[in-house]
Amino acid sequence: MNRLSKVAGAVMMAMAVGASLPAQAADVVKVGFLTTLSGPASAPGVDEREGFMLALKTLGNKLGGVPAEVIVVDDQFSPDAAKQGADRLIKREKVDILSGFVYSNILLAVAPAAFASKTVVVSANAGPAQLAGAGCNPYFFSASYQNDAAHEAAGKLMADKGYQRVAIIAPNYPAGKDASAGFKRFLKKDPAVELFPKLGQLDFATEIAQLRAANIDALYFFLPGGMGVNFVKQYAAAGMDPKIVRVMPAYDADQQMLSNGDLIAGVANTGQWSSDLPNEQNRAFVAAYLKEYGRQPSMFASQAYDAAMLIDSAVKAVGGKVENREALIAAIKTANFKSVRGGFRFAANHFPIQNQYARVVTKGADGKYVNNMTQTVLTDHVDAYVGQCKMP
């Protein structure tokens, strides 16, 4: 299959014929899939698209039994480009649902127009605090996590290990600030060093010098896309002390990062999914992804797969009548689908209640690096902002 990894702003139509639709049901369900598909920050977006389209293929190119049209738009890692793309999807294409969204600044740029138009948004990755607390909205759902969650698990993991001088490095944008807040919330003390490089930065000489000078014994790094790959290469080249324990969020420990496995062997990572989770839906997803794309799925792909399955269940529940937004929202909220994570349910703010696991980067018998789950760090974890959400 053509992965379309070089296509920006591509339009993919998945049409099925011969279905007997319920009275007044939509002839087609239109999904606008807005994600990052170009530049060094694009790897998560490509994985998102692949996971979503794999789910659609599994569903016979239908959502809830209705033929599906998915319009994929590259946000170009730019809030301005994202707003233009979303405007086209909402006003010209008249999509029923928006999905995708890797980066929180992109989602936050698009959200006001989406909510004003009563377009349902199902995020396959970004989960900013701004939409979890007082700013929660009935038209928004996260099929992934609230941004703080994986970082909270990392903070607890490090606190439980008793590390004394801990550093954190994360990008200076909403998800990076959420990372810091979540990490510190469960670390239960201030880090020895806290660094916020620019989002998309690829040279970390200054930050590595600061880490060296701080005499740390543990480091937590959240650097998405090409940032993380460049960081681990430069960290190793700088000859940093190998005894410094390193932890990162699980969604950063993807195939792009694992291709540099020699540099991150033994590094722990935290998140809500692992390819070795022992449930039937996950086994089927991993096998199908390997067959379709010839590589292990990332957490981004798993979340987008779940996003499509969640949408499918809701469209089915409303009998294809997606124009009834209130009924569609109620159906999404029930989350009546089989998740690759196992159990899946929403908190009152439309963010998942779910376990957070620890994994470790390990070299397999075939010489390839994989993530192996080691423990459950947080069970049925609820985000810190849900109490601020006053949504009925």
pLDDT band per the 50, 70, 90 thresholds, residue 10: very low
**Same domain, yes or no: 285 and 299:** yes
pLDDT of residue 25: 80
Among 10-14, 21-25, 94-98, 110-114, the least confident range: 10-14
**Same domain, yes or no: 282 and 338:** yes
Q: What is the pLDDT of residues 245-268, one digit of tens each?
A: 999 999 899 888 998 999 999 999
Considering only CA atoms, which of 307, 383, 314, 292 is closest in space to residue 339?
Answer: 307
**Same domain, yes or no: 154 and 139:** no
**Same domain, yes or no: 232 and 307:** no
Q: What is the pLDDT of residues 125-169, one digit of tens each?
A: 999 999 999 999 999 999 999 999 999 999 999 999 999 999 999
CA angle 90, 86, 345 (to 5 degrees): 85
pTM of structure: 0.90
**Same domain, yes or no: 158 and 304:** no
Neighbours of 13 (CB within 10 A): 12
pLDDT of residue 254: 84
Counting every residue written for the chain, the total comes to 392
**Same domain, yes or no: 155 and 140:** no
Q: Cβ(58)–Cβ(306) under 8 Å?
A: no
Q: Which has more pLDDT, 213 or 8?
A: 213
**Same domain, yes or no: 247 and 161:** yes
Q: What is the pLDDT of residues 106-117, one digit of tens each?
A: 999 999 999 999
Domain with 69 in it: 29-145+277-346
| Token pair belonging to 143 | 């099929």
Q: Is the pLDDT of residue 61 over 80?
A: yes
Q: How is 91-106 classified by DSSP, letter by letter?
A: IIS--SEEEE--SHHH
Give the pairing type, strands 352-363 and 268-271: antiparallel
pLDDT of residue 24: 62
pLDDT of residue 256: 84
Give domain status of residue 180, yes or no: yes
**Upper half-sphere CA count for residue 56 (Cβ side, 13 Å):** 24
Give domain status of residue 13, yes or no: no
Give domain status of residue 11, yes or no: no
**Same domain, yes or no: 376 and 235:** yes
**Same domain, yes or no: 235 and 366:** yes
Considering only CA atoms, which of 176, 219, 213 is closest in space to residue 198?
Answer: 176
Q: Cβ(325)–Cβ(231) under 8 Å?
A: no
**Same domain, yes or no: 250 and 363:** yes
Give domain status of residue 211, yes or no: yes
Percent over 70 (pLDDT), the chain: 94
**Same domain, yes or no: 55 and 40:** yes
Neighbours of 159 (CB within 10 A): 15
Give domain status of residue 330, yes or no: yes
Domain count across the chain: 2
Strand, helix or coil at 191? coil
CATH code (residue 320): 3.40.50.2300
Q: What is the pLDDT of residues 18-46, one digit of tens each?
A: 333 343 688 999 999 999 999 999 999 99
**Same domain, yes or no: 367 and 218:** yes
Strand, helix or coil at 301? helix
Q: Is the pLDDT of residue 305 over 70?
A: yes
